[in-house]
Amino acid sequence: MNEDPVVRFAGGVFLLVGVLVRYLLTTTLLELDRRTGYHLYKNAPNEQVGIQRARKFYRLFGFLFAVIGALGIILANKDYLQAIFLRTPGN
């Protein structure tokens, strides 16, 4: 489908960012973030609940980035995957 190495690289970057966001400590991400995760944390009734809410958000966000990256890599290698899975016996 796409022979451009930039597409594969971008997919790899998205996958890497997704994995990093998913597994970094929530407190580290809260220090860097001033948007959604931070507001979930600040609007919680107490600190523990706020950290749990932010953790759920960051894990979902990281998972979505990883899925987008994996799909990008798969779609960039579509022709290669078709050659592997759709070959007929004897070829």
Q: Is residue 44 part of a domain?
A: yes
Burial 4-28, CB ≥16 within 10 A → b, else e: eeebbebbeebbebbeebbeeebee
Q: Is residue 55 part of a domain?
A: yes
Which domain does 59 fall in, by range? Answer: 9-85
Separation between Cα atoms, residue 17 and residue 32, nearest integer Å: 14
Tens-digit pLDDT profile for residues 1-41: 556 678 788 889 999 999 999 999 998 988 988 888 889 99
Tens-digit pLDDT profile for residues 34-69: 888 889 999 999 999 999 999 999 999 999 999 999
In the chain, the number of structural domains is 1
Q: Are 23 and 15 in contact (CB under 8 A)?
A: no
Residue 90, pLDDT score: 58
